[in-house]
Amino acid sequence: FTVDNNEMVLEKDITFYSVCEHHFLPFYGKVHIGYIPDGKVVGLSKLARTVEVFARRAQIQEQLTEQIADAVMQSLQPKGVMVMIEAEHMCMTMRGVKKPGSKTVTSAVRGIFETDSLARSEAMSLIKLG
């Protein structure tokens, strides 16, 4: 959709399930995607679908975070994109150190979020809002 708005759009708490390519055990959690439009916005369900496309593959969380950020950046060409993933990994819960409830947090920033600490801080504060 074409818009005149340049204000941040944030879709948060997108639930996902994936499988770690390292241990072949599940990891799951929430994805938060923020972007600053540059004339175009996307239907919100498209962000969730983007998460689903990449989460269906066996992979590592760090790569999943990067793939989502790159896909949004490429398809929308916004001023910037920020993706944060919070996930629990069954390799940490079921085997090894057995620490259920521990979360791994990854983030990827593109465009204006790389250089503008105020924009990055605003996105982080919106993600933290209950």
**Any catalytic annotation for residue 114?**
no
**Any catalytic annotation for residue 23?**
yes
**Any catalytic annotation for residue 74?**
no
What is the helix (H) or strand (E) element at residue 19, kind and residue range? strand 9-20
Out of 21, 62, 74, 77, the active site residue is 21
Out of 23, 59, 66, 88, the active site residue is 23
DSSP secondary structure letter of residue 129: -
> Phi/psi of residue 27, each to 5°?
-135, 150
Are the C-beta atoms of residues 2 and 39 closer than 8 Å to each other? yes
**Any catalytic annotation for residue 89?**
yes
Out of 32, 67, 89, 122, the active site residue is 89
**Any catalytic annotation for residue 32?**
no
**Any catalytic annotation for residue 91?**
yes
Out of 52, 63, 86, 91, the active site residue is 91
Point out the residues that are catalytic. Answer: 20-23, 61, 89, 91
